[in-house]
């Protein structure tokens, strides 16, 4: 029985993917869940396992092909035996397999020619029978004028130390050996180099910064941003963390931080104010069933916002564990498409850098984002029994950004005050973690 392998859906908003590398060729045996190919999108590269065991009888897409989700890309015959292998190879198009093999062999030297490919990029010749580069890597190398010696220096993290798309992009993003390129300005001829002062340089913007730039500009063009701030007394939570952090670390093997307390408070408030857990599409309001809180994680070249899904179904410990897992996977570049999509509200903590107040940009298509400021000791006037006194308290400023198209100032104020009340009302005696 011949089974079809289709381009998988890599995420809710992903409609196509790029074939990076086939791990099998026509005639090869493959087991169920064995890696068949590698697929790349704008957000992540993924190894795709086979949905069937048998023999690969047809490959319908070449490396660098961009294929729509749901299209057939290969076929596996689950009934083909060893004696049928030769027949399979003879009956299928050997030209595709042979051309693919010629393309990915790394030859003795790398050179750019003036011959243009159909996509407009220069062709790259690779000669070195002992090494292996994927067509996508070669394409990036050609486009960015990476020499043979530079390509050889890149440490590969793929199978058999293969240089992956991420490896070469990281190499381009690094400052160790920046690729100098001509910059085209309105008052300059094409390919004319900018004259720079001593010790200055020009570099191409890293890919992650380009994506962040596009996303932030889109958000500012889409939502009517409004901001409210409020001070929160975090003394009770600060004291609890100080008392329990050692015990918590022994039990969970990671540090107890203030973030899960804030996420839990936000989750409770979102349940009371569902319009803040909504998305606006034109004139249609989508009230989300689940509460998926995105947490901004700072990386070397930017930030990423993994999503803690279904927070309403988790207790404090579940939220805390999810935050730790997502943050670790983000810094190790192991997040899947589903883990960086689907947030319904976002939180960004600039307080870890000592900043008190900020005005974060809404993470589309969310309606709101909460900025967390640094917790600092301050003298605060406390009223008790009609008597005022001054005490040293651990204070934090919350900055709420929201879309004024959907939420008015009163709605934003009520939500922010709800989060404040939840945090200040923390009662360690009723709080069970251990």
Where in the chain are the domains?
Answer: 2-92, 104-204, 224-424
Bond into 329 cis (ω within 30): no
Among residues 86, 246, 272, 408, which one is catalytic? 408
Count CA atoms within 13 Å of residue 421 on its CB side: 8
Extract the tokens encoding 268.
Answer: 């409770």
Q: Is 286 a catalytic residue?
A: no
> E strand or H helix at 3, and its extent?
strand 2-6
Among residues 65, 77, 288, 404, which one is catalytic? 404
Q: Is 100 a catalytic residue?
A: no
- What pTM, to 2 d.p., does this model score? 0.60
Give the DSSP per-residue string, 243-311.
HHHHHHHHHHSS---SHHHHHHHHHHHHHH-GGGGEEEETTEEEE-SS--EEE-EEETTEEE--EETTG
Which residue(s) pair with 122 in the sheet? Answer: 116
Extract the tokens encoding 25.
Answer: 């060729």
Does CATH number 3.30.70.1560 belong to domain 224-424?
no
pLDDT in tens, the chain (434 residues): 899 999 887 766 678 888 888 999 999 999 988 899 988 776 566 788 898 999 999 999 998 888 888 999 999 998 754 444 444 444 444 444 334 333 333 333 343 333 333 333 333 333 333 455 665 677 678 777 787 678 778 888 776 677 777 788 888 877 444 444 433 334 444 444 455 667 788 888 887 788 888 889 999 999 999 999 999 999 999 999 999 999 999 999 999 999 999 999 999 999 999 999 999 998 999 999 999 999 999 887 788 899 999 999 999 999 999 999 999 998 888 888 888 889 999 999 999 999 999 999 999 999 999 999 999 999 999 988 889 999 999 999 999 999 999 999 999 999 999 999 999 999 888 776 65
E strands in 50-182:
54-59, 66-68, 72-77, 105-116, 122-132
Pick the CATH number of 2-92 from 2.40.50.100, 3.10.20.440, 3.40.50.720, 3.40.50.1110: 2.40.50.100
Give the DSSP per-residue string, 38-71.
EEE-SS-EEEEE-SS-EEEEEE---TT-EEETT-
Q: What single-letter DSSP state applies at residue 133?
A: B
């Amino acid at each position: 029985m011949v089974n079809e392998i289709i381009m998988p859906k890599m995420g809710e908003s992903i409609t196509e993917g790029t074939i990076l590398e086939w791990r099998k060729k026509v005639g090869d045996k493959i087991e169920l869940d064995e890696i068949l190919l590698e697929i790349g999108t704008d957000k992540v590269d993924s190894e795709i396992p086979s949905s069937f065991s048998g023999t690969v009888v047809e490959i319908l897409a070449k490396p660098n092909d961009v294929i729509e989700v749901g299209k057939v890309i290969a076929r596996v015959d689950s009934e083909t035996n060893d004696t049928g292998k030769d027949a399979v190879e003879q009956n299928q198009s050997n030209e595709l397999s042979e051309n693919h093999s010629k393309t990915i062999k790394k030859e003795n030297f790398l050179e750019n020619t003036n011959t243009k490919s159909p996509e407009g990029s220069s062709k790259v010749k690779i000669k070195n029978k002992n090494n292996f580069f994927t067509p996508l890597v070669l394409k990036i190398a050609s486009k960015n004028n990476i020499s043979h010696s530079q390509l050889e220096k890149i440490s590969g993290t793929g199978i058999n130390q293969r240089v992956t798309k991420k490896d070469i992009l990281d190499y381009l993003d690094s400052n160790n050996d920046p690729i100098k390129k001509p910059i085209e300005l309105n008052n300059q001829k094409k390919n004319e180099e900018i004259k720079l002062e001593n010790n200055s340089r020009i570099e191409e913007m890293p890919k992650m910064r380009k994506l962040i730039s596009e996303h932030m500009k889109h958000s500012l063009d889409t939502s009517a941003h409004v901001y409210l701030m409020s001070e929160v007394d975090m003394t009770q939570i600060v004291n609890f963390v100080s008392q329990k952090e050692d015990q918590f670390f022994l039990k969970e093997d990671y540090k107890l931080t203030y973030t899960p307390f804030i996420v839990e408070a936000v989750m409770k408030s979102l349940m009371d104010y569902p319009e803040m857990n909504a998305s606006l599409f034109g004139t249609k309001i989508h009230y989300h069933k689940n509460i998926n809180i995105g947490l901004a994680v700072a990386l070397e070249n930017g930030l990423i916002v993994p999503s803690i899904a279904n927070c309403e179904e988790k207790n404090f410990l579940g939220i805390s564990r999810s935050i730790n897992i997502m943050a670790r996977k983000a810094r190790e570049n192991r997040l899947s498409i589903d883990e960086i999509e689907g947030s319904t509200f976002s939180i960004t903590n600039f307080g870890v850098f000592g900043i008190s107040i900020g005005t974060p940009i809404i993470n589309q298509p969310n309606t709101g984002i909460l900025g967390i400021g640094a917790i600092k000791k301050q003298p605060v006037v406390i009223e008790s029994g009609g008597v005022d006194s001054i005490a040293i308290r651990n204070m934090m400023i919350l900055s709420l950004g929201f879309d004024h198209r959907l939420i008015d100032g009163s709605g934003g104020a009520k939500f922010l005050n709800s989060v404040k009340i939840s945090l200040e009302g923390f009662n360690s005696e009723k709080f069970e973690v251990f």
